[in-house]
Structure 1
Amino acid sequence: TGSTKSELTYMYILFFTDISPFPQNGGERIRSYYLIKALSQLGYSVIAVVRNVEKVDLQQYHLPNVTFYTYETKPFDLLTRITGKQYFQRSGELLGMFKEICDEYPISAAILDYGFVGHYISFFKSRHIPVILGTHNAQPMITWQLPSNNLFDKLRKLQLFSMEKLHERLYFNKAAAVVVVSDDDHVYHSRFLPKQKVFTVPNFLDQKDYHLFGKKQQRVLVMTANFGVYMNFAGLKWFIENVWDKELAGKYDLWLVGRGSKEALKRITGKEEYENIVAFGKVDDVKWYISVASAVIIPLVHGSGTRLKCLEAMALRTPIISTAKGVEGVKSRHFIVADEPAAFKQSLLNFDSETDKGERLQEDFLQEYSLEVNQLRLQQIVNYAIRDKKSAYVQPA
């Protein structure tokens, strides 16, 4: 920025998430990481309160202007889970950490990102610190899509759905601003929040982190996901049972990359390898696999929000063959989309990596989902949230 601390009063932002952002091997982690990175590159001093489940050395993930605090959570006891208290119960450890940070730093705004954390807003409001509440999807609508095979499942789903809706109604309006990831989610949240409070910041990536790793492998298709998540598992199951066959296996190898992929393949097929489908399990970084694949498949039949697996392929110029649900909310006309099994199979048989290039996908990515574009969106949201306090601070350059 060219300014020194003696010339510029830096604004401190407390960023809190229930996620472990490192390593970035899952969609939620990637979102939280790039939110922190974008804020730091805007020149804010970011105090990031995160979990560190893998116990990684955070020094390896150093970001300028960012100080990390970590905390641990205990599994909810049976009574808490049965009653749904976790949607409303505040952690004494976290409140103590927030107090310590607010006593040490002149926090200008707090960003509470991911999950049901609205019950912490009042802590910051009592200190006149505006809160920006980040959502990664319209969670009650995701919960409503979960399978319910018996009466108990149906009642449990209804309970979770009701608790999540109640949490939204009780707390979301207390935030100065609410950040959503897609136009559909914007419509959903605007039903119970003032529209001027709801801002869309799609999932985004830093193009500089996505360089090509090598030559495309003509036979290789890849699907990346956390396969322990119901939507991803159901999409893979649909694909294997309805689309994949010996004809496709004769043309392609399918790589499944991500947490739970080995278990998912065995659960669906009864085998650890099946008809040229290979599961790699959890990897620290999926970029190499996407980069060398001739195409990425996204056979989702449930879900919402902006697809990070889709954005990573766009950034790496890898063509995408998907259901409409798989690319829902992502702005590009250069996907190959098919919803019916026969049409999906035909799209794969017709796919030609020599003519179906990914360069146009990368161009669309840079216009809408790059770090630079979304830094500006975040800046506008912070300005809106602190509009009553701005005169006390010099804006970061």
Structure 2
Amino acid sequence: MVQVMNERKILFLTTQIIVPPTDGGKQCTYYRVRAIAEQQRVQLTMFNHGNQMGVLQNNKTYFPKSLSVSLIEPFHRDVKGAPWFRRIHWGLSWLLSGKCRWEKLLSSQHVTATLMQKILTDNIRVVVLENPFLATLIDIPELRRERIRVLLVEHNVEYKYFLDSLRLPAYIATLEARRIHELEKRVISQVNRTICISPQDSRDLQQEFGVGTVCYLPPLLSSKERCWTRNTSKQIVFTGGLSFYPNLHGIMWLLEHIWSDFLLQYPDYKLVITGKVSDAVKQKLAVYPSVKLTGFLTAQELEDCMIGAQFVVVPIIKGSGVKIKLLEALSYGIPVVTTGESHRGVMYDALQENVPYMYTSDPHMFLEYMCRMASDLDLCERLGMEARIFFDRTYASDTNLRAWLQLLNEGIEE
């Protein structure tokens, strides 16, 4: 049977280059856009914030032929790594602007006019913003007057995520969070729908802003060809670069409160941490025994490392949103010990059946669960099988794809 392509055009806007899909945010956007592009006409416009060279040419293999891809090149220079006098100037400008950082970086009448003309002349029927900051690039009220549907995908509750994920002086962090809160509130009130990929975020936004247009859908992710199998490698894996504060915070929590007690009972085990690590963090971790830092791994190396683990830990406590590193482990059918905070990103899905992983935010219980994983291979095997089934049915299923397509096209007039 020949599949009929839906000719309604959808434009996805994102503030980052989503290929290669090497982290949680990129994966959540990339796999969803790719899957939808196989069913419907899709355009993807990415803001090339890092001013990367040859983005489209070097990543052709990631994009199906049905997907039209374009870039918005940087039009305001960011100040990361800039001389101190430029940082001070930019900081004063930010302070007086009344805008949050991303809103300031994306403000351009010329870019907005060009993008709006593109949307109207290309007969775009749906515009999807991958975060609320992107509303700065378009005129939402005008698009809605033109009967163009505008949706916001919330990967996190942005103002909460900001406070949890960055370490800044309190007065700066509080002011920036307040500005993000106001922007988030305004955008959510303007769009047709806000889709959260974490059930907890959906509840939080509904309660915080009192709007009925916020809903939850599971992330649309890809099933894995390879699968974890029972082993006695005595390797416990954590995936994620430690330059990201919630990752570093979670690992330090594990090392400070749990790791030494675990080694007393299982001295032959190693904690393997993947991803780039700064010299300062390396020194910080050097005092803890049986910790291996792999540094950056290719996609193939990372997959081999994960599948070779006896089990995975996701000790993340900071930051809102769904923890993709948890879902990635489940996608391979790997047994996992994680926190209650990570569990809340999948809570309503998981409560429909037996939870296919162990979770707790209590250090003593976390230790107990790790010990059970180390001593009971039958338990690991059972959880691994349940994890794979749960992931494929919830996140990588045709049912989930149809739910996304239905919500994207809801109420569109021909």
Question: Shared fold (TM-score greater than 0.5)?
Answer: yes
Question: What is the distance in 1 between the residues matched to 2:328 and 2:42?
Answer: 25
State whether structure 2 residue 66 is matched by structure 1 residue 44: no
Structure whose residues are more often helix by fraction: 2
Q: Is residue 95 of structure 1 aligned with residue 112 of structure 2? A: yes
Counterpart in 2 of 1:156?
172
* Counterpart contact for 1:297–1:322, Cα < 8 Å: yes
Q: Distance in 1 between matches of 2:151 and 2:306?
A: 33
Following superposition, the deviation at residue 31 of structure 1 comes to 0.6
The aligned counterpart of 1:290 is: 306
| Counterparts of 1:187 and 1:9, CA distance in 2 | 32
C-alpha separation in 2, matches of 1:304 and 1:139? 8
Match of 1:366 in 2: 392
Any stretches of 5+ residues in structure 2 without a counterpart? 80-89
Checking the alignment, whether the CA contact within 8 Å between 1:27 and 1:309 is kept in structure 2 is: yes
Question: Paired residue for 2:332, among 316, 330, 349?
Answer: 316
Alpha-carbon distance in structure 2 between the residues aligned to 1:211 and 1:29: 21
* Counterpart pick for 2:95 among 82, 104, 107: 82
Deviation at 1:24, TM superposition (A): 1.1
Alpha-carbon distance in 1 for matches of 2:34, 2:398: 11
Aligned CA distance change for structure 1 residues 280 and 91 (closer, same or farther; 3 Å) = farther
Alignment check: 8 A CA contact 1:140 1:164 kept: yes
Using the TM superposition, give the Cα deviation of residue 267 of structure 1 relative to its aligned residue in structure 2, in angstroms.
4.8
Q: Note the C-alpha offset of 1:100.
A: 5.5
Paired residues of 1:216 and 1:291 also in contact (CA < 8 A): no
Amino acid at match of 1:139: E
CA contact (8 A) 2:240 2:274 kept: yes
Q: Distance in 2 between matches of 1:270 and 1:21?
A: 33
Say whether 1:280 aligns with 2:294.
Answer: yes
Q: How big is the shift at 1:101?
A: 3.0
Does 1:141 pair with 2:160? yes
Q: TM-score, normalised by structure 1?
A: 0.85
Q: Following TM superposition, by how much is the alpha carbon of 1:92 offset from its aligned partner in structure 2, in angstroms?
A: 4.4
CA apart distance, 1:117: 2.1
Deviations 1:298-339 (A, max 9, x none): 112222222211111111010001122232232331212243
1:62: which partner in 2? 63
Alpha-carbon offset, residue 20 of structure 1: 1.4
Size of the alignment, in residue pairs? 376
State the distance in 1 between where 2:34 and 2:93 align.
34
Q: 1:75 to 1:249 in 2, by over 3 A?
A: farther
Letter in 2 for 1:111: V
Show the counterpart of 2:408: 382
- Please tell me whether the aligned partners of residues 184 and 329 of structure 1 are also in contact (alpha carbons under 8 angstroms): yes
Alignment of 1:185-224 (within 5 A): 185-191=201-207, 192-195=209-212, 197-207=213-223, 209-212=224-227, 216=231, 218-224=233-239
- Where does residue 377 of structure 2 map in the other structure? 353
Q: Which moved more, 1:138-147 or 1:155-164?
A: 138-147
Paired amino acid for 1:233: L
Structure 1 counterpart of 2:91, one-letter code:
L
Select between 89-98 and 365-374 the one with higher mean Cα deviation: 89-98
Q: Return the match for 2:322 from 302, 306, 314.
A: 306
Identity across aligned pairs (percent)?
A: 19
- TM-score of the superposition, structure 2-length normalised? 0.82
**CA RMSD, 1 decimal:** 2.7
Which residue is 2:12 aligned to?
15
Q: Which amino acid aligns with 1:365?
A: F
Distance 1:11 1:282 in 2: 40
The one-letter code matched in structure 1 to 2:186 is: L
Higher mean C-alpha deviation, range 98-107 or range 166-175: 98-107
CA contact (8 A) 2:220 2:401 kept: no
Structure 1 residues 3 and 115: CA distance shift in structure 2, 3 A: same
Tell me what 2:357 maps to. 335
Deviations 1:197-246 (A, max 9, x none): 21212223211x44237874521111112322221111111111221124
Give the 3-state SS of the residue equivalent to 2:185 in structure 1. helix
SS at match of 1:49: strand
| Contact kept in structure 2, 1:19 and 1:114, CA below 8 Å | no
Whether the 8 Å CA contact 1:261–1:281 is kept in 2: the answer is yes
Q: Give the 3-state SS of the residue equivalent to 1:194 in structure 2.
A: coil
Code of the residue aligned with 1:75 in structure 2: it is D
